[in-house]
Amino acid sequence: MEIVFQTIANGILVGALYGLVALGLGLLMGVMKFLNIAHGTFIILGGYVSFWLFNLWGIDPFVSIPVVVIVMFFIGLVLYKLAFSPLLKLPTIGMRIDTSMLVTFGLIWVLDNVMTMLWTPDTRTIITTYTGETLKVFGTRFSITGLGGLGVAVLVALILYVVLSRTYFGKHIRAATQDAEAASLCGINVNRVYLFSSGIAIALAGVAGVVIVSTYSINASGGISWLLIAFVVMILAGEGNINAIIPAGVVFGLLEAGSVLVVGVPYRQAIALLVFIVVLIFKPQGLFAKKALGI
Amino acid sequence: MNLLVLLFIFIILSQSWNLIGGYTGQINLGLAAFFGCGLLVTHFVWKAEIPIYFAVVAGGLAAVMLAVIIGLPTLRLRGAYFAIGTFALAEVCRIVVGNMFARMVKMPGSYAIDYNLIPRYYLGLIVAIITIAIVYLVTHSKVGLAMVAIRDDEQAAQVTGVNTFKYKVYALLMSSFLAGLAGGVYAFLRLSFHNITAVFSPIWTFEPLMAVVIGGAGTLSGPVIGSVFLVVLSEIFALTLGEAHLIIFGLLFILVVMYSPYGIIGSVSRIRQMMSRVGRST
């Protein structure tokens, strides 16, 4: 019985991280229909920024999150100006998705190798005084960094929810999502909305990177596996359904943790991915189908 | 010589991706799975002392089998979902194979004693020529027309009576057969694989994709030019710039995608058009 509780606890902790990983990808896809394949690579980049702050000035990773957010936000603005805004001229949404996929795919190549040159191909992690410590509640162990990640994920998701549903800027984003042309006719500066949303999306990737570097480890070419997880969670949540991303991440985390009990550690990712493909084929609109409120 | 064989493998792989991605417009990110599957089967069939030419064909057929089992379900997906689904499936294959063959996969020593690059070269050349011939024949037939119609507008193709699913299946099966052959050639070239998951790694999907797009997707000569470009330039730059040449490739790729969607081939023919227009006006 204890092992079941422990599995559930692990699943929730890792699942919250999975949700956090997918948030930026889901935002970019939901608002602008840009599929950012380099999302995983930006996560790693955020992790490295935090790694630098910790190594050079000894700043705790969870404290460094605001700095990482600002740095990554500006990277996102540059990314939008250079790579994404020319794609808005493409005639159809399908072409926009495909072309953005190819452009960001080239970006992986560039960023991966720049990061390899800057930080060497070694695997990096941040070891603080509390890394590896656990908190025991009723015989179930929670790792401190994992709990920190859960807290960050929930906090970020809440902030995003409040911004999207309670502020004017969020209203603009939702309007631009539903119909960019109509929104710009109503006096919304769609270009600016897009600019800031891609900044936010890349900043979210950075936050996920900070949590990953303090919980697990990163290396320069490790972005692809995180990208896959982000994809899976985004599809499970349903395209453009940002509020459901964290719950979808938890579902995926539980699925992965549960399959450890059934088939053992080596196949856990394979099983989770197979379940994902089955969902994709039979319920492509996602497990958390869109409701009237969602953006 | 080694480089030439690698070049042939690249040409085969990029033509394979060109069939499904360039002509049919289905962005397949799972090419590595078919490549790896063909490689593994060729390796073991060859190990059972069956001539390499049969072993390579067996590798190709095995890749087709894999496509039937795992590829057909994903063809129900459209657009970006197809890309994500095939990507996930390739990862599943990588994980499963990595768990099955945890130790080094290699040929017995007797194969290494009379190792000679010449037969590798000819096998690569033959398979590359066959590949280009297949792509030429397919794209100059009714099947090829249907594939291009699907790429340009899937719904319109369906409305005008093209059985889109059938032709997508054809494209996927042919593409995976070719990828399996490429795997076979690579198995012949390299006798031992230190870490078998490396041949299933997404690199084997991404580099051919890059070659196709840089050369010109949906053309016969584009992938060939792209492969030559990629292999030769990476060899030149590897000596002077080290890993940094990949940064240049990435930037070049982005520029091609954004400003010249038909690749090198497209820009050449566009320049030729402009030249002829200039010629006429004077």
B185 near B59, Cβ under 8 Å? no
Neighbouring residues of A94: CB distance < 8 A, sequence distance ≥ 6: B79
Distance in angstroms (rounded) separating the CA atoms of residues A72 and A240: 22
Report CB contact under 8 Å: B243, A113.
yes
Neighbouring residues of B172: CB distance < 8 A, sequence distance ≥ 6: B20, B26, B28, B67, B71, B72, B75
* Identity of the residue in B84, B92, B99 whose CB atom sits nearest the CB atom of A266: B99
Nearest by Cα to B251 from A101, A88, A74, A103: A103
Report CB contact under 8 Å: A83, B213.
no
Distance in angstroms (rounded) separating the CA atoms of residues B56 and B187: 9
The number of C-alpha atoms within 13 Å of B202 and in the hemisphere containing its C-beta is: 23
Burial zone of B40 (CB within 10 Å; 0-12 exposed, 13-18 middle, 19+ buried): buried
Could you please report the per-residue DSSP string of A44-67?
HHHHHHHHHHHHHH---TTTSHHH
Tokens of B80: 């970006």
Tokens of A112: 């991966």
Sign of CA dihedral A180, A182, A185, A186: negative
| pLDDT for B238 | 73
Tokens of A129: 């005084």
Tokens of A69: 């957010």
Question: Distance from A138 to chain B by nearest Cα, in Å?
Answer: 35
Tokens of B175: 């593409």
> Which residues in chain A are closer than 8 Å to B97, comparing Cβ atoms?
none
| pLDDT for A285 | 67
Residues in chain B: 282
* Identity of the residue in B76, B85, B247 whose CB atom sits nearest the CB atom of A110: B247
> Which residues in chain B are closer than 8 Å to A99, comparing Cβ atoms?
257-258, 261
> Which residues in chain A are closer than 8 Å to B258, comparing Cβ atoms?
83, 86-87, 99, 103
> Which residues in chain B are closer than 8 Å to A235, comparing Cβ atoms?
81, 84
What's A124's DSSP letter?
B
Phi first, then psi: what are they for B270, rounded to 5°? -70, -40
> Which residues in chain A are closer than 8 Å to B27, comparing Cβ atoms?
98, 101
Report CB contact under 8 Å: A266, B76.
no
Report CB contact under 8 Å: A273, B84.
no
User: Measuring CA to CA, how many Å separate B11 from each of B14, B129, B185, B196, B229?
Assistant: 5, 9, 12, 22, 11
Question: Distance from A122 to chain B by nearest Cα, in Å?
Answer: 15
Chain A 189-228, residues with CB within 8 Å of chain B CB atoms: 224-225, 228
Strand partners, A134: A143
Question: Distance from A178 to chain B by nearest Cα, in Å?
Answer: 20
Distance in angstroms (rounded) separating the CA atoms of residues A224 and A221: 7
Which 3 state secondary structure label does DSSP give A218? strand
CB-based contact, A231 to chain B, within 8 Å: yes
Which residues of chain B have a pLDDT value below 70?
Answer: 102-104, 109-110, 112, 241-243, 261, 263, 274-275, 277-282
Which residues of chain A have a pLDDT value below 50?
Answer: 291-295
> What is the 3 state secondary structure string of chain B?
CHHHHHHHHHHHHHHHHHHHHHHCCCCCCCHHHHHHHHHHHHHHHHHCCCCHHHHHHHHHHHHHHHHHHHHHHHHCCCCHHHHHHHHHHHHHHHHHHHHHCCCCEECCHHHHHCCCHHHHHHHHHHHHHHHHHHHHHHHCCHHHHHHHHHHHCHHHHHHCCCCHHHHHHHHHHHHHHHHHHHHHHHHHHCCEECCHHHHHCCHHHHHHHHHHHHHCCCCCCHHHHHHHHHHHHHHHHHHHCHHHHHHHHHHHHHHHHHHCCCHHHHHHHHHHHHHHHHHHHC
| pLDDT for A286 | 65
A9 near A142, Cβ under 8 Å? yes
pLDDT digits (tens, 9 = 90+) for B138-194: 888 888 888 888 888 888 888 888 888 888 888 888 899 999 989 888 888 887 777
Tokens of A183: 């929104």
A230 near A22, Cβ under 8 Å? yes
What's A122's DSSP letter?
S
Report CB contact under 8 Å: A269, B91.
yes
Tokens of B96: 């499963």
Neighbouring residues of A155: CB distance < 8 A, sequence distance ≥ 6: none
> What is the 3 state secondary structure string of A131-143?
CCCEEEECCEEEE
ipTM over 0.85: no
| pLDDT for A289 | 59
What are B's interface residues with A at a Cβ cutoff of 8 A?
27, 73-74, 76-77, 79-81, 83-85, 87-89, 91-92, 95-96, 99, 202, 206, 209-210, 213, 243-244, 246-247, 249-254, 257-258, 261
A247 near A85, Cβ under 8 Å? no
* Identity of the residue in A105, A113, A228 whose CB atom sits nearest the CB atom of B88: A228
Report CB contact under 8 Å: B246, A109.
yes
Residue of A81, A88, A277 to mutate, testing the B interface (most B Cβ within 10 Å of its Cβ): A277
Residue of A29, A41, A113, A267 to mutate, testing the B interface (most B Cβ within 10 Å of its Cβ): A113
Distance in angstroms (rounded) separating the CA atoms of residues A203 and A201: 5
CB-based contact, A279 to chain B, within 8 Å: no
Alpha helices in chain A (DSSP H): 2-32, 39-57, 65-79, 93-119, 144-166, 168-178, 180-185, 190-215, 223-237, 245-263, 268-282
Neighbouring residues of A205: CB distance < 8 A, sequence distance ≥ 6: A21, A24, A25, A39, A42, A43, A45, A46, A72
* Identity of the residue in A105, A107, A273 whose CB atom sits nearest the CB atom of B91: A273
* Identity of the residue in A101, A117, A281 whose CB atom sits nearest the CB atom of B27: A101
* Identity of the residue in A113, A228, A280 whose CB atom sits nearest the CB atom of B246: A113
* Residue with token string 């012949």: B188
Residue of B nearest to A110 (CA): B247
Chain A 99-128, residues with CB within 8 Å of chain B CB atoms: 99, 101-103, 105-114, 116-117
